[in-house]
Structure 1
Amino acid sequence: MLSYLVSFFFLTLPSFVNLVNTQTTSLHCPILGPDFPAPQNLSASVIISNAEASHMKLLSDYASTLGNDTFFSISLFSVDEDELLFQYHHSPAVLSGHSIGVHTVDSDSIYRIGSCSKVFSVWTFLIEAGDSYFNDPITRYVPELVAAVAQSSNNTVEFDEVDNVRWDDVTLGDLASQMGGIARDVTLEDLSTDVGITELGFPVLSKSEIPDCGAVVGQSPCDREAFFKHLLLHHPNFHASATPAYSNIAFQLLAYALEKITNKTFPDMVSNDIFKPLNMTHSSYSQPADITFGVIPFNETASYWSFPMGDEAPSGAFYSSTNDLARAGRSILTNSLLSPAQTRRWLKPVTHTSNPYASVGAPWEIIRVQDPNNRITDLYTKGGDIGMYHANLILSPDHNIGLTVLVAGDPSSTTNSGVRTTLENSLIDTFLPAVEAEARQQASTHFAGTYTAASNASNSSFTITTDDSPGLGLFNITTLNGTPLQTIADSLGLGSANQTLSVRLYPTGLKTATRMSFRATLEALPQVMNRGWCQTWVELDGELYGGVGVDEFVFGFEEGGEVMWVEWSALRERLVRIG
């Protein structure tokens, strides 16, 4: 069977700290988030250029192993540059039975993006209504479910929670984040439509039990009436808000709710709120009339290029290109269509999964990458599959970059979504360390140096450097009266004779045109963490002096220029950068 359902948490993760250990010895316990300000002007970076060159050779070698009828397009982009930082496109030299659409793909070639569509559906909801609606029950906006709620009251004998969904418990936020506990699909790929299925031992069903819409190629999508007829026959998977369980129909219900809230049609909202403002001219809610730019292996039917999804389109029907997905990613990371506060709430986990390095958002599939210093990078991804199409959008808010992967091809040559997975992992393994290295190098240029008191009455000073540890490191620290910080730390009980105080600075994201805030971690190293418990987040702002956090540092710089000074806020003193 051909499916558009996503292969959830597809990335091959590197070796990580074993979280089931009762104790781990750690050098650092970083604050969650970036350890340096996001790097800029990556197109001029020698580090990125070298990564691109090595990756180009890897991709060329890999592409040569693929069979006919396999296309792919990948990219790296940054929020502060309009052009793609890196792109690679592969078109097969020989096309078996391929006569329509584009034969040589580029950054404007159009692929189906499957469940990546869910990002645009939730994004549209947030633009139109905001997440204040996320605690509302779906029954407030979908009248077809009201009757079902009447039957599922605790006081009625008809209700059986094994067989019936408590629809008034299912919120819009549950639907957006895979927490509804409801069916995955209504009719799509129902096994009862397979010829010969009863020969495998499945019982013969009555005609009324076999879907006649939306199940397979050749059937029309279910209209709204048929959708609810089938939906209300489905059993729940779990209670609402109990555990993540992937659902495509959740986004159809979310779209119905938004149409009720706004009195607008969902396709029009997606187009007017996102595609048109971002000039995404190669993206669409449904099949493009012009197939000139279409990547169509074999033919429109076999590839699923023309497979209609009707009202279930919000879950996986959209079409897009490399350039357009990069435009969308930049917009998300720069808050161009949402407020910064709304975006920050959106780019957060809603729940965990059984994999400690994989979480779920709305609708993000969040991969947590951990380096040897315990620093976590959260990648906000959304993958999608429909027929011969496999896609992914990957965002790194810590670095203000994104990656896109688009694949189309015969399952026999792509090993289903195997090509996409290989490309995703190669992009992340190549470019995430390179961008992090560039961020470290730029931070060294901007912040590293010796800082000394601006006042002649003080002899405070310290050195800021970047090394192999996360964040900016403070060394050779003396306070107002010349006392070494280690002496003060010892008197406050920070550490022991066998430990050394470490001070690392991390950007908070709080800044003006000429000032930028950092917070420090003060750690006695080496330190032991029970079950991997990293608690610097608990200790932030924990020590005050006159109402000001001892861990607050504020850098000052000329507008658009280099750092000139830093204030250790609790000391009420400005230290000037002298080298």
Structure 2
Amino acid sequence: MAFKFLPLLLAIASVSGSTVTVPRRGLLAPQKRDTSTPTCFAPATKLPPPKAADVKSAVASADAYLRALAQTDEVDSVVAAIVTPDGSIYEGTYGSLRANDSALVGLTVDRDSIYRIASVTKVFTAWESYILRDRGVLGLDDKVSKYLPSFKLDTTVRQLATHMSGIPGTLPAGNMSSWPHGFDGSGNPPDNGLPFPTEADTIAAINSATLMVAPYTFPLYSDTAYGVLGLVNAAADGKVNGQYAALIKRDIFDKLGMSSSSFKAPASTERVVVSSSEPVEADYDFLNAMDGAGGQLSSLADLIKSQQVLLDPSRSGSNISPYTVREWMRPLYNFADDFFSVGHVWEIVKRKDSSGRPYQFYEKNGALNGFHTLYGLNPDSGYGIIVLMSGSNFDPHGVAWELQDIFQPAIDTYRASVLKNTYAGSYVSADGKSKTSISVRNGNLYADAFVLDEEDILVALQGPDTQPVALWPVAEDGLTFRLSFGMPGLNGAPNYGCILEMVGFDPGYARGKAIGLVQFAVEGGKKVINVPSTGGKLIFA
């Protein structure tokens, strides 16, 4: 119906020059309803990343925050970074490398110190699944049993990766013999009294277990499922004798230069972080069955390299395509709190930038008893956050939240300045018959006027009471945009938000080009806007 309705609205608006009247809803419509109109912000424009000098005040504030955090009793050490495609614009490293040994407590952590990253491991397990999918040896909707014949459930690879399998999260389960008078036997091996399981033990436990919920009901966290995903990856590859650690080393660690990352503590331990609360965790061997769930060790320096690739997968040396990263960075299930979503490994929280523009922060948290970690990305603003802590502080999410509060405003200010300097201003054709005015508001680009060959396009579409039209980026080059006209006559109506932008984004073509397409360029030292639908060129005035 929308495809028939849109041309009708455009035709009426063009002929009459007035705003289309929106028909009243039927008599059975509820008398009381939400009439708010959520602001529809255009997707963020890809811009050159900021340098440390561009966020200088935030760097000082972050240092003060982390220095104070490292002095609390619950934190042995903390290392953190704010990462862009070009590398880190901030790194803070504070605290003790060997908090379990009073003789060595003076040794301090740095960017090369090696931490247990716990469930942040799952980021790389999911990453490997996409590498294998793109290589053609793994199907995300294949049954697990295709790769692990002893696996008896109808679970798919995608269900494992998105916590949608319903498989209990802590198998093989311990015996909570003192329940309800105590919690002994709860949690994962080895905390539940059982050793890290073998592959056979893990699959046998799953085959005999009752699912928490039916697959695709809603996501429930499962370390067990991610351990199996690691086994599936290794089996699908077929060249590493089923060993997950060897697969990740070949496809990710070696490819990206992550030389300090592994699944067993190195023989030379002078850079390995040891916590005061659980020193034994530094030496854990998760075994092949659970390496994919939480067995990885990494340094801040190594994780920075990985985030540079996810923030710019087109960079030299990348092992994943921009297409695949765009596919990966998507919510798959929204919880009923208007805040939290789940993706393919990601724990996604909704936040707002300085302009009130919502963004989604894609994070993965990790927790052992003595290590607490976070690996997060803000694709819209083009930066990531890494937090690695040792000690008993269990809240890396809270630390990352504080760092976002510190850095997001500074990055917003930088982005607004770049948008203004790169795009904003008045542009006029050589014959004076076409012109536009581009402005920056709330972190978005807008066309406040758009006249082509003496035709006022905004008046033609909106009537005399025109509103600025947002420019939506439609290519990775940061130069190609479309004016998003929405649906004339309905724009601004309650209860629509971005629905009208999506439905009305492609109203028509002239000379084989979209009528809203504009392309920024610099020619002869001057900023210009090319308008392919007319073949015209507007020059910065």
TM-score band, normalised by the shorter chain? 0.7 to 0.9
Pair 528,222 (structure 1): closer, same or farther in 2 beyond 3 Å: same
Q: CA deviation at 1:37?
A: 2.5
**Matched position secondary structure for 1:277:** helix
Q: CA deviation at 1:223?
A: 1.6
Q: Separation in 2 of the partners of 1:568 and 1:187?
A: 63
Q: Separation in 2 of the partners of 1:459 and 1:89?
A: 59
In the alignment, is residue 464 of structure 1 matched against residue 441 of structure 2? no
**Matched position secondary structure for 2:263:** coil
5 Å matches for 1:434-449? 434-449=410-425
CA-to-aligned-CA distance 1:362-383 (integer Å, 9 cap, x gap): 1111222235866332222111
Pick aligned residue for 2:385 from 403, 426, 431: 403
In the alignment, is residue 452 of structure 1 matched against residue 428 of structure 2? yes
Pair 532,22 (structure 1): closer, same or farther in 2 beyond 3 Å: farther
Structure-2 residue corresponding to 1:7: none
In the alignment, is residue 39 of structure 1 matched against residue 2 of structure 2? no
Structure-2 residue corresponding to 1:105: 109
Q: Separation in 2 of the partners of 1:101 and 1:309?
A: 27
Q: Separation in 1 of the partners of 2:68 and 2:104?
A: 27
Unaligned 5+ residue runs, structure 2?
Answer: 1-31
8 Å contact kept, 2:264–2:284: no
Pick aligned residue for 1:67 from 61, 67, 73: 73
Q: Separation in 1 of the partners of 2:157 and 2:103?
A: 44
- Could you tell me which amino acid in structure 2 is paired with residue 504 of structure 1? A
In the alignment, is residue 25 of structure 1 matched against residue 7 of structure 2? no
Structure-2 residue corresponding to 1:175: 160
Pick aligned residue for 2:214 from 234, 239, 242: 239
**Matched position secondary structure for 2:41:** coil
Structure-1 residue corresponding to 2:298: 320
In the alignment, is residue 565 of structure 1 matched against residue 510 of structure 2? no
Pick aligned residue for 1:488 from 460, 471, 480: 460
- Could you tell me which amino acid in structure 1 is paired with residue 114 of structure 2? I
8 Å contact kept, 2:121–2:295: yes
Pick aligned residue for 1:427 from 403, 408, 413: 403
State the TM-score, normalized to the length of structure 1. Answer: 0.78
In the alignment, is residue 338 of structure 1 matched against residue 320 of structure 2? yes
CA-to-aligned-CA distance 1:491-530 (integer Å, 9 cap, x gap): 5xxxxx7x5422121322343xxx8211222368982431
Q: CA deviation at 1:290?
A: 2.3
Q: CA deviation at 1:272?
A: 1.1
Structure-1 residue corresponding to 2:517: 552
Structure-2 residue corresponding to 1:304: 281
- Could you tell me which amino acid in structure 1 is paired with residue 439 of structure 2? T
Q: Separation in 2 of the partners of 1:373 and 1:201?
A: 49
Structure-2 residue corresponding to 1:527: 492
Q: Separation in 1 of the partners of 2:328 and 2:192?
A: 35
Q: CA deviation at 1:486?
A: 4.2
**Matched position secondary structure for 1:354:** coil
Q: Separation in 2 of the partners of 1:555 and 1:345?
A: 27
**Matched position secondary structure for 1:222:** coil
**Matched position secondary structure for 2:165:** coil
Structure-2 residue corresponding to 1:230: 205
Q: Separation in 2 of the partners of 1:68 and 1:521?
A: 51
**Matched position secondary structure for 2:141:** coil
CA-to-aligned-CA distance 1:104-136 (integer Å, 9 cap, x gap): 011111111111000111112222343860011
8 Å contact kept, 1:252–1:312: yes
Structure-1 residue corresponding to 2:18: none
- Could you tell me which amino acid in structure 1 is paired with residue 63 of structure 2? M
Unaligned 5+ residue runs, structure 1?
Answer: 1-19, 149-166, 205-209, 492-496
Q: Separation in 1 of the partners of 2:503 and 2:400?
A: 34
Pick aligned residue for 1:184 from 169, 187, 199: 169
Q: CA deviation at 1:361?
A: 1.5
Percent of aligned positions that are identical? 23
- Could you tell me which amino acid in structure 2 is paired with residue 55 of structure 1? A
8 Å contact kept, 1:101–1:296: no
Pair 542,72 (structure 1): closer, same or farther in 2 beyond 3 Å: same
Q: CA deviation at 1:460?
A: 1.1
Pair 563,112 (structure 1): closer, same or farther in 2 beyond 3 Å: farther
Q: CA deviation at 1:351?
A: 2.3
RMSD: 3.1
Q: CA deviation at 1:531?
A: 7.1
Number of residue pairs the alignment of both structures matches: 497
Q: Separation in 2 of the partners of 1:94 and 1:319?
A: 16
- Could you tell me which amino acid in structure 2 is paired with residue 404 of structure 1? I
Structure-1 residue corresponding to 2:22: none
Q: Separation in 2 of the partners of 1:257 and 1:96?
A: 37
8 Å contact kept, 2:50–2:411: no
Q: CA deviation at 1:386?
A: 1.2
Q: CA deviation at 1:294?
A: 1.3
8 Å contact kept, 1:39–1:435: no
8 Å contact kept, 1:393–1:403: yes
**Matched position secondary structure for 1:522:** coil
- Could you tell me which amino acid in structure 2 is paired with residue 368 of structure 1? K
Q: Separation in 1 of the partners of 2:160 and 2:286?
A: 19
Pair 56,198 (structure 1): closer, same or farther in 2 beyond 3 Å: closer
Pick aligned residue for 2:181 from 187, 196, 200: 200
CA-to-aligned-CA distance 1:223-256 (integer Å, 9 cap, x gap): 2222223222210112222211111111222222
- Could you tell me which amino acid in structure 1 is paired with residue 218 of structure 2? T
Q: Separation in 2 of the partners of 1:563 and 1:182?
A: 60
- Could you tell me which amino acid in structure 2 is paired with residue 42 of structure 1? K
Pick aligned residue for 1:347 from 329, 341, 358: 329
Q: Separation in 2 of the partners of 1:531 and 1:24?
A: 9
Q: Separation in 2 of the partners of 1:391 and 1:462?
A: 48
